[in-house]
Amino acid sequence: MKKDLGVKPYVFPMPVLMIATYGEDGAVDVMNMAWGGVCAENMVALNIDEDHKTSENIKKRGAFTLSIADVPHLKEADFFGIATGNKTPDKFERSGLHAAKSTRVDAPVVQEFPLTLECRVVELQNTSYGFRVLGEIVNVLADEAVLDEKGRVDPAKLNAFVFDQFQSGYYAVGEKVGQAWNSGAGLMKK
């Protein structure tokens, strides 16, 4: 029997994404964000509050990077969700992580995160549902350590984790349990 839980943002898994931007002074700012992701083949959507330092930076610079957080850097990724750039100007320095300037967009690339999408802002939306940033993916950077022999990202090597909206936990991902567009193919013959 199912129990009515009311209106909740209960989708699982939720990606743990790191948005990196430059501030007006050139300082690196990184924000942990779960409400967003790929919305088209070459587009991402970020649903964030407009009062975040990251939102201000995105408006001024017109660019950001979006990285997948990995288990070895869970502590730092969680910190980027706890601390706000509006009150903690040395937030990135406190993390101990390192950044380099993207060669394609006006945003930093956090070196320790294994997969990064370099994005340019194509639209900012203010609606009754909140502030949304649409970004065009202009390039993807991946550490060689997370690639398979054909040069594709291997999710098992990515060592990513996801956010649990139910109990505010993080869960590691990586075990392959099926093959897309194949595991259910037998049902086509019925």
**Nearest to 48, CA basis, from 75, 74, 86:** 86
What span, in angstroms and rounded, lies between the C-alpha atoms of 45 and 69? 17
What span, in angstroms and rounded, lies between the C-alpha atoms of 160 and 154? 11
* Full strand arrangement of the beta sheet holding 169-172: 14-15, 161-164, 169-172
CATH topology for the 14-189 domain? Pnp Oxidase; Chain A (2.30.110)
Q: Note the pLDDT tens digit of each residue in 54-93.
A: 999 999 999 999 999 999 999 999 999 999 999 998 999 9
pLDDT at 189: 83
For residue 8, the Cα-to-chain-centroid distance in whole angstroms is 21
Query: Is the distance from CB of 153 to CB of 110 less than 8 angstroms?
Result: no
Structural domain boundaries in the chain: 14-189
What span, in angstroms and rounded, lies between the C-alpha atoms of 66 and 137? 9
What span, in angstroms and rounded, lies between the C-alpha atoms of 139 and 13? 25
Q: Note the pLDDT tens digit of each residue in 20-37.
A: 999 999 999 999 998 899
* Average pLDDT of the chain to the nearest whole number: 94
Q: Note the pLDDT tens digit of each residue in 142-172.
A: 999 999 999 999 999 999 999 999 999 999 9
Q: What is the DSSP letter of 160?
A: B
